[in-house]
Structure 1
Amino acid sequence: MMKRRQIIKGTAALGALGACGGGAAVAVTNSKNRYYSGPVSDHFDGVQFFNPDGAAPAGFGDLLKWQLGGGKAEWPDLVPVPQKAKPASSVQDVTITMVGHATMLIQTAGMNILTDPVWSDRASPLAFAGPKRVTEPGIALVDLPRIDAVLLSHNHYDHLDIATMKALHAAHQPMVVTPLGNDTILQNAIPGIRTTAGDWGDTATLGLLSVHFEPCHHWSARGIGDRSCALWTAFVIAGPNGKILHIGDTGFDQGRPYRDLPAKHGAIRAAILPIGAYEPRWFMRDQHQNPDEAVQGFKLSGTAHAIGHHWGTFQLTDEARDAPLIALDAALQKHKVSSDRFRALAPGQSWAIPPL
């Protein structure tokens, strides 16, 4: 293992209501970080994490302006999943299956890895309120193969779901690889859970795989008073069958989450990139890329194939459910990328990634 360093996002917005302390990105409201204590760095001021030279999350005034401004598309109450996947117990090459939203099953080198697992009906701290699931998970929990590891990118409720993590811990006891501070949240909620926390630039080892923590442009919060107390990250999984990039959430940030990857990691076989929750742009632009920016990032990263996720499961923002698919098709044509190379998978769909 690596060396360790010491409102509901219901919609992408709740931590605008409070912060865990002062810093380069937000005003002082508290004096203590409840999740993490460690040395100051270029993205941690001693109390809060921030995006170097980036944009802070929008404030409460902008949140109200968005929520009261109208323009939210109507989503269907339920979208059927024609056929749920029943994955193989293990895969030696690379197969990726869409569960829903940012939850993907990555199977490679005999390892089974889940990203940002959410099987709950709502992306919310409440069972009766908050964004409701409109598609069932593409894999039933009981049909999962042995889960060796979970990659948890950040702590918003549509990515870190405690009920799901409890179920996975009880059934599989996976190693959870997550950025700084999120391990505290998990350990407080689930006694005995195995965690490995890392900072940007760190590496964790999972059997034959290495998991690299890479910068992305986002933020974090579980409620009022803990904004940016825990870090967010992108992951690059390196193994005998090539490299896989997974980004749970990011703003495009002038391409910075992507442009340094080729020099550091070389050829990347597959990227799992967010393409949804991006409207209205004046509010979402800094923290959530749109499909056109996802395609630009795909090209900057030099990746061979990509899967679009973070669409169609929970209505977090204003765009219609199928808008990301339409926008992705337009972006692929605009940037001259074949649709065979960049696919938006629906829940239950799998893709055996072609070799480099």
Structure 2
Amino acid sequence: MKNKIVFTGGGSAGHVTPNIAIMNKMKEKGWDITYIGSRKGIEEDIINKENIPFHGISSGKLRRYFDWKNFSDPLKIMKGVMDAYFILRKVKPRLVFSKGGFVTVPVVIAAKMLKIPVIIHESDITPGLANKIATKFATKVFVTFDETLKHFPKERVLFTGSPIREELFKGRVSEGKAWLGFHAPKPILTIMGGSLGAKKINETVRAILPALTEDFQIVHICGKGNVDTSLQNVKGYKQFEYISNELPDILAASQFIISRAGANSIFEFLALRKPMLLIPLSRNASRGDQILNAESFEKQGFAKVLLEEELTEATLASHIEELKTNKEILETNMNKNSAPNTLEIILAEIIKAAK
């Protein structure tokens, strides 16, 4: 009988794609994999493409601020616990691996009720509320940044780094350029605002597009519903809601990246040695985790940073020029980075915890 494992994580692609890196390795070792996520969440579409059984459960958001939904969401969470309980009891996994997001809290609680070991992975420097709660029920906690170790119990925390999808290293420059239809000698600049897009980044990029296309060929991954059809025929500019299978080739062909500062994405760019300009999600729209991620990368010389509050047409143009000027310095610093063998560490710990 195959060993069984349940993965959970959702709310954004950043809570799902690292799971895929681990799941691919688990498949190679013959494990039977099931995924639990939220109903109608982005994770369902991503996991279905991986041909992995997906179960959707009820989930509610946990908030630190007042919202009328704070009165109804606890009921959704309780319903989610029961949903997860019956799924786990039926699947009978040896272990639950949680990547974060509010949907994971009911799953982790249900696993604890069934005495199933739980490992959680925290991407950011400071833990989110969902993982803070999940830690109480976890057997082990993995962290991406060594700065994060102090936020969890010493006896249960382990620095692993960020799991990187191996397929990202298999990208081909020629295939990326051919798919995009880019044949000019200009460098390729890829801009992405996360799986949900980034309105202010999109608008500012498009406002200086004529100047950008003089120096770069632009790949703009702008998020669902954010394609501007009036710009479809601009030479040297390609826009997409989301890129999946072609992403390794696109990144291989790219000389520069502009991105939000989600931990999983920036560690992928670091692994690929791509000079990056990070525009973290502002504190007005988040708990400030991306700002801390970006500051860490800037301090280590891996990236340039432009705060969203300071984002204008002029500052974006000047920071892109600075990124271009500092390309070799950034690449040298990234080449000096010796990341842990994250996937091997995580696989060994999963096997140990599942015994």
Q: TM-score range by the shorter chain?
A: 0.3 to 0.5
Which of the pair has more CA radius of gyration? 2
- TM-score, normalised on structure 2? 0.34
- TM-score, normalised on structure 1? 0.34
Query: Greater RCO between the two (CA within 8 Å, min separation 6)?
Result: 1
